[in-house]
Chains A and B, each alone.
Chain A
């Protein structure tokens, strides 16, 4: 970790250090322009394409399986928002941590968790990441540094600040990504977290995935300040607004943000302007918006289509190469779905395990 962070312990002294840091960093940051696809970043672009496609196909399959009664309870799909997590995760290094809300399948796939284990958790089977005891909203992987999967709107935000605290305390140079939605952004504990993160200069990037609707409520109906990147202004947390439908733009902004935070300059707030195509959860008929609105975004701003066009235009890969990705991803999802249906339900004895760590 850089000097600024290292030399300032948490506690009262950090307060005076912080004001200096806040002054030196402009509160509103301009997002860097999305780079064109060239030979230099061509491999990245293809990787992003494949990862976004995996999330898309996985979520479509999850939606189907929900309809077949194989997945129960709440199930929140990430379709439309894929560029956000794929772009951000690409900016991280090994050991950095992340966590998010209950709309978490995409984050798990993007941080390298196995599609089989994620899908089997959705079906409540022993092969799931939580042995079937967490479900769609509550999955974790210590191995991949994914800390959930949190079902209470906004509750993951202070926990993410706490992970950042642990990085700083240990001086391990790691950073914490904390994803939340525009709905969470109105929870009080989010601002409690902003305050402590700024006060103690914690290495955390707060990422608002502004998909325009908190369940059925459009941002303008719930938020007095709908420019979410400005929500940290009063604590001196710089904010950046990013086109969350453009994975290259997200990656470029992510690189800058990670350098800032890893450099010990304190927290950052990124607002990703994005959109979810499906309802809030599987039981949401989405009557609060028009079909035309959804269609317009799909036609004009779809993150996968946009990247596909750009890749083809750049000649980094041709149709056939992209088709090969389609087939690979389809196979992964098919295997995951089969695994999720064939993995046994947890043994009844699992009812009483994992309540406490045995001493």
Chain B
């Protein structure tokens, strides 16, 4: 029986990939360990090796095919002396290259991690409260590309801006965010650090005190816990302790929040940790446009800015304004969807869940207004209060634990500042109060989703 080789999952968050190159031809003999193909993921190009001994029977997906969902058959191998006639007998059916893999296709993949399965529905994105004039030309790009472009533009504009972090230069970024920057700006300004978060964070702070504008990349914010003292005690507090002399213009950026199947130490949202501390600004965008505009603002800001990205969002595409210098102000929320019945406040990946919940609610006659917070410190209270004054109901959404979280803060502020506007208690939706489990089913249970958000919204509407 011929063996069907399928598109492998080569990273925790991979949903599809490109068959970049076949290293074998039909009729070739291969042994276990032989390289048979190069597969390009959103993060890297990897070689795939043969596991069995046999003959390459039929290549189902030609080299260069993009967007091949994982588990799609890509090649048939003949083993135990079979000949090509055996191929027809193989129950592989018609190969489906799926050139433009729709969300339905990817989310039905059986091994797909739960967190990825939540459709983010970028197509539904509209910048309702426009940051740009009507008629501005838009280009579709991923969050990853937007972040890279923001850094490149700011580095072109200011010689004092540089990027440092683990694998940011020669490796092109662990998540490919810094792709191409080393080539353009050289090793003086795109700096691979040792794995030494506490040390290089302090070094970055010193460089900022010394008049430079460092962008410090944490491969993920989980590792920034090693550097917490330098971020809080040195970066955030020194301006105050120096009576205003010692500004620290620095950006700490990297992947935050729940990744996929990487368990408790690598899946956590730090928004409330940093938002707790005066002396910091904390932003966490959802769209690519905001990723670009906010990162540019963060790099120019004279203060330390914590820039929380989300690994699962890196590959998502959005419309980004084609402007020479597109910035988004820190501290300004965005109405992601207008509605009059209930306000749903979310940030980062949670905005996608909230928009999805809004669709579920609309089907039941409830019009939700979705606020994309974008900045968690400072919070755009005027936008929030205006919305709640209209809807009189509010649900908050976050990936992180609810205890002392962003939703808790929003609830308290709404109680203090909008008590008379509320027709129901604010409800919080967030991650379960447990360390993130590894098992796929448990991970899904630990995370909020559109259904939970819609249920909370119905509850505050007494429906």
Question: Which residue of A11, A132, A141, A176 has the most chain B CB atoms within 10 A of its CB atom?
Answer: A11
User: Which residue in A148, A193, A359 is a CB contact (below 8 Å) of B202?
Assistant: A193
Taking CB as reference atom, which chain B residue is nearest A162? B206
Query: In the assembly, what is the distance between CA of A12 and CA of B194, in Å?
Result: 10
Can you sample 30 A-B contacts with CB below 8 Å? Answer: A9-B187, A11-B191, A128-B243, A130-B241, A132-B243, A138-B238, A140-B245, A147-B206, A147-B210, A152-B233, A155-B230, A157-B202, A158-B205, A159-B203, A162-B204, A165-B207, A166-B207, A166-B210, A167-B210, A192-B198, A192-B202, A193-B199, A193-B203, A195-B199, A196-B194, A355-B240, A356-B279, A357-B303, A359-B302, A359-B303
Would A134 and B242 be within 8 Å (CB), given that A12-B187, A151-B233 are in contact? Answer: yes
Q: B281 near A: Cβ within 8 Å?
A: yes
Judge whether A162 and B203 touch: CB under 8 Å. yes
Would A196 and B199 be within 8 Å (CB), given that A134-B241, A152-B229, A166-B207 are in contact? Answer: yes
Query: In the assembly, what is the distance between CA of A195 and CA of B303, in Å?
Result: 28
Residues in A whose Cβ lies below 8 Å from that of B209: 147, 159, 162-163, 166
Interface residues of B in 189-203 (CB under 8 A from A): 190-194, 196, 198-203
Q: A3 near B: Cβ within 8 Å?
A: no
Judge whether A131 and B200 touch: CB under 8 Å. no
Query: In the assembly, what is the distance between CA of A232 and CA of B244, in Å?
Result: 35
Query: In the assembly, what is the distance between CA of A11 and CA of B239, in Å?
Result: 30
User: Which residue in B242, B243, B301 is a CB contact (below 8 Å) of A359?
Assistant: B301
Q: B459 near A: Cβ within 8 Å?
A: no
Judge whether A155 and B233 touch: CB under 8 Å. yes
Query: In the assembly, what is the distance between CA of A356 and CA of B277, in Å?
Result: 12
Residues in A whose Cβ lies below 8 Å from that of B241: 130, 133-134, 138, 140, 149
Residue interface bits A296-321, CB-to-B below 8 A is 1, else 0: 00000000000000000000000000
Residues in B whose Cβ lies below 8 Å from that of A139: 242
Query: In the assembly, what is the distance between CA of A150 and CA of B169, in Å?
Result: 32
Query: In the assembly, what is the distance between CA of A1 and CA of B203, in Å?
Result: 20
Seed contacts A138-B242, A152-B234, A196-B196; 18 additional CB < 8 Å A-B pairs: A9-B186, A130-B242, A130-B245, A132-B243, A133-B241, A138-B238, A152-B233, A159-B203, A160-B206, A163-B206, A165-B207, A166-B209, A166-B212, A189-B202, A192-B202, A196-B194, A354-B240, A356-B279
Residues in B whose Cβ lies below 8 Å from that of A355: 239-240, 278-279
Residues in B whose Cβ lies below 8 Å from that of A165: 203, 206-207, 210, 212
Judge whether A130 and B243 touch: CB under 8 Å. yes
Interface residues of B in 231-261 (CB under 8 A from A): 233-234, 238-247, 249
Judge whether B187 and A10 touch: CB under 8 Å. yes
Judge whether A11 and B187 touch: CB under 8 Å. yes
B259 to chain A minimum Cβ distance, whole angstroms, is 26
Residues in B whose Cβ lies below 8 Å from that of A13: 187
Query: How many chain A residues touch the partner (CB < 8 A)?
Result: 53
Judge whether B199 and A142 touch: CB under 8 Å. no
Judge whether B199 and A192 touch: CB under 8 Å. yes
Q: B308 near A: Cβ within 8 Å?
A: no
Residues in A whose Cβ lies below 8 Å from that of B397: none
Residues in A whose Cβ lies below 8 Å from that of B230: 155, 158-159, 189
Q: A353 near B: Cβ within 8 Å?
A: yes
User: Which residue in B194, B210, B279, B281 is a CB contact (below 8 Å) of A162?
Assistant: B210
Which chain B residues have a beta carbon within 8 Å of chain A's beta carbons? 162, 169-170, 186-188, 190-194, 196, 198-212, 229-230, 233-234, 238-247, 249, 278-279, 281, 301-303
Residues in A whose Cβ lies below 8 Å from that of B208: 162
Q: A97 near B: Cβ within 8 Å?
A: yes
Residue interface bits A166-181, CB-to-B below 8 A is 1, else 0: 1101100000100000
Taking CB as reference atom, which chain A residue is nearest B196? A192
Q: A339 near B: Cβ within 8 Å?
A: no
A257 to chain B minimum Cβ distance, whole angstroms, is 19
Would A196 and B207 be within 8 Å (CB), given that A10-B188, A159-B234 are in contact? Answer: no
Judge whether B202 and A162 touch: CB under 8 Å. yes
Q: A269 near B: Cβ within 8 Å?
A: no
Residues in A whose Cβ lies below 8 Å from that of B201: 158
Judge whether B200 and A158 touch: CB under 8 Å. yes
User: Which residue in B191, B204, B234, B244 is a CB contact (below 8 Å) of A10?
Assistant: B191
Residue interface bits A345-359, CB-to-B below 8 A is 1, else 0: 000000001111101
> Interface of chain A, helix or strand or loop or mixed?
mixed
Query: In the assembly, what is the distance between CA of A133 and CA of B237, in Å?
Result: 11
Would A192 and B194 be within 8 Å (CB), given that A9-B187, A355-B279 are in contact? Answer: yes
B270 to chain A minimum Cβ distance, whole angstroms, is 20
Query: In the assembly, what is the distance between CA of A11 and CA of B193, in Å?
Result: 7
Judge whether B198 and A158 touch: CB under 8 Å. yes
Q: A199 near B: Cβ within 8 Å?
A: yes
Query: In the assembly, what is the distance between CA of A139 and CA of B303, in Å?
Result: 19
Judge whether A131 and B207 touch: CB under 8 Å. no
Taking CB as reference atom, which chain A residue is nearest B188? A9
A112 to chain B minimum Cβ distance, whole angstroms, is 16
Taking CB as reference atom, which chain A residue is nearest B304? A356
A197 to chain B minimum Cβ distance, whole angstroms, is 9
Query: In the assembly, what is the distance between CA of A195 and CA of B196, in Å?
Result: 9
Query: In the assembly, what is the distance between CA of A337 and CA of B32, in Å?
Result: 82
Residues in A whose Cβ lies below 8 Å from that of B192: 11-12
Judge whether A195 and B194 touch: CB under 8 Å. yes
Residues in A whose Cβ lies below 8 Å from that of B211: 166, 170
Judge whether A140 and B246 touch: CB under 8 Å. yes
Query: In the assembly, what is the distance between CA of A159 and CA of B246, in Å?
Result: 13
A299 to chain B minimum Cβ distance, whole angstroms, is 39
Query: In the assembly, what is the distance between CA of A142 and CA of B229, in Å?
Result: 23
Residues in A whose Cβ lies below 8 Å from that of B193: 196
User: Which residue in A11, A148, A162, A170 is a CB contact (below 8 Å) of B246?
Assistant: A148
Of all A-B residue pairs in the complex, the 8 with the closest CB atoms, nearest first, are: A162-B206, A192-B199, A158-B202, A166-B210, A11-B187, A131-B243, A159-B206, A138-B241
Query: In the assembly, what is the distance between CA of A25 and CA of B382, in Å?
Result: 62
Would A155 and B202 be within 8 Å (CB), given that A166-B210, A357-B247 are in contact? Answer: yes
Judge whether A161 and B206 touch: CB under 8 Å. yes
Q: A220 near B: Cβ within 8 Å?
A: no
Query: In the assembly, what is the distance between CA of A29 and CA of B178, in Å?
Result: 42
Q: A129 near B: Cβ within 8 Å?
A: yes
A102 to chain B minimum Cβ distance, whole angstroms, is 11
Judge whether A158 and B238 touch: CB under 8 Å. no
Residues in A whose Cβ lies below 8 Å from that of B229: 152, 155
Q: A35 near B: Cβ within 8 Å?
A: no
A186 to chain B minimum Cβ distance, whole angstroms, is 14
Query: In the assembly, what is the distance between CA of A170 and CA of B212, in Å?
Result: 9
Query: In the assembly, what is the distance between CA of A357 and CA of B213, in Å?
Result: 14
Judge whether B234 and A189 touch: CB under 8 Å. no
Residues in B whose Cβ lies below 8 Å from that of A155: 202, 229-230, 233-234
Query: In the assembly, what is the distance between CA of A117 and CA of B431, in Å?
Result: 50
Query: In the assembly, what is the distance between CA of A10 and CA of B170, in Å?
Result: 13
Residues in A whose Cβ lies below 8 Å from that of B212: 165-166, 169-170
B459 to chain A minimum Cβ distance, whole angstroms, is 38
Query: In the assembly, what is the distance between CA of A13 and CA of B169, in Å?
Result: 12
Q: A188 near B: Cβ within 8 Å?
A: yes
Judge whether B200 and A192 touch: CB under 8 Å. yes
